[in-house]
Amino acid sequence: MTRTLILLASSLVLLSCNAPQRSSPASTAKDSLASTTEIFQAPDTNELKNDEWGRMVKYGARLIANTSYYIGPEGLVSKNLGNKMNCTNCHLNNGSKAYGLNFFDSHRIYPQFRARENKILSMSERVNNCIERPHNGIPLPLDSKEMVAIVSYIKWLGERYDPKKHEGYGLKSIAYKGLQADPERGEKVYAKHCKSCHQENGEGLMNADKSTYTYPPLWGDKSYQEGSSMHRVLKAAAFIKYNMPNASASADQPVLNDQEALDVAAYINDGRIHPRPKPKHTDYENLKHKPVDYFKGPYLDSFPAPQHAFGPWDEIERAMQELEKSSGK
């Protein structure tokens, strides 16, 4: 039970990174949560009836799994994506794996204020963010059948998720306090634990008919854009620690420790050695909302970009908290 509480507390810290305002880790929300929580089990699409809703949700599931086939650069329905990755490459098991970037609580928390755009976004607009950045593509029309299907699937998946009873949503935080990520050390982690699938050149391995990937790319012009969430070292490390290597790591049994996950995340995302597509628009017009690990300035604080990208992050966080206090927030 103590363990459950610790898990819970750490996932809340992570959620707060995602939240519009930098809230302190000593959040009050955790005190009100029930003490017995369990990992959420996502429903099975076989439970769906063969009616309008069931068919729409199932189409959404197919789109998340085979995104490139439907809306990729040579897509059957449209050509919205700029690369041949699928949503499920990051939102593991079609967004249903505990701490694997799942969608358990997503529908409930949208519409939501988003720091980067500095405004409230709907769930559909949030989906388009992933189509634009990790998929380097152009937004789907909000009223397209594909968008409606994706959003229907996300709603259906999380309908029974109750944050008071369940855990496992999103990502699980890592203990980065006092740590710094080192791309050079990360190169060794990559060679030992990642290269066999994601390949020496990091560009992944396509399937036989080249319609998508068996092992998706981690850098290069076919991978996610700079400034995508996966490009942020703290986010990527939290994903990697509890999910990679793909076949063996889980939240209960990580293969890498916190330091190794940070180092390999830094190696993958280091723009000095690994190029990737550039974002089309600049963002974070309100610098107060810029995540601490964002790779590029300007920042409100005076720490240089490499420290933001690779840490240590503690002193930057302290400086930001001081700034917030002094601005009366």
The answer to whether 118 and 286 are in contact (CB under 8 A) is yes
Residues facing 121 on adjacent strands:
112
CB atoms within 10 A of CB 182: 18
Q: Site for ligand HEC (CB under 6 A): which residue of 116, 155, 172, 193?
A: 193
- Burial of 181 from C-beta contacts in 10 A (0-12 / 13-18 / 19+): buried
- Contact flags string 158-177 toward ligand HEC, x per CB under 6 A: ------------xx------
The answer for residues whose C-beta is within 8 angstroms of residue 326's C-beta and 6 or more apart is none
Q: Does residue 177 come out as left (phi exceeding 0), alpha (psi in the -120 to 50 range) or beta?
A: beta
Q: Which amino acid belongs to residue 161?
A: Y
Residue closer to ligand HEC, measured from CB, 122 or 321: 122
The amino acid present at 193, given as its one-letter code, is: H
Supply the DSSP symbol for 231.
Answer: G
Question: Applying CB under 6 A, which of residues 42, 115, 147, 264 lies at the interface with ligand HEC?
Answer: 264
Classified as helix, coil or strand, 39 is strand
Q: Are 233 and 293 in contact (CB under 8 A)?
A: yes
State yes or no: residue 92 binds ligand HEC (CB under 6 A). yes
In the complex, the smallest distance separating the C-beta of residue 156 from ligand HEC, rounded to whole angstroms, is 13
Site for ligand HEC in 194-213 (CB under 6 A): 194, 196-198
Using CB under 6 A, which residues numbered 267 to 296 contact ligand HEC? none
16 lies in the site for ligand HEC, by CB under 6 A:
no
Q: How many other C-beta atoms are found inside a 10 Å radius of the C-beta of residue 221?
A: 13
CB of 113 to ligand HEC, least distance (A): 12
Shorter beta-carbon distance to ligand HEC: residue 36 or 295: 295
> What does the alpha-carbon distance between residue 168 and residue 105 come to, in Å, rounded to a whole number?
10
Q: Mask 22-61, x = binds ligand HEC (CB under 6 A)?
A: ----------------------------------------
Smaller CB separation from ligand HEC, 104 or 299: 104
d(CA 148, CA 108): 16
Interface with ligand HEC by CB under 6 A: which range of 131-139, 172-180, 292-300, 319-327?
131-139
Is 246 an interacting residue with respect to ligand HEC (CB under 6 A)? yes
Q: Which residues bind ligand HEC (CB under 6 A)?
A: 18, 64, 67, 85, 87-92, 101, 103, 106, 126-127, 130-131, 134-135, 150, 154, 170-171, 193-194, 196-198, 215-218, 224, 229-230, 235-236, 240, 244-247, 256, 264
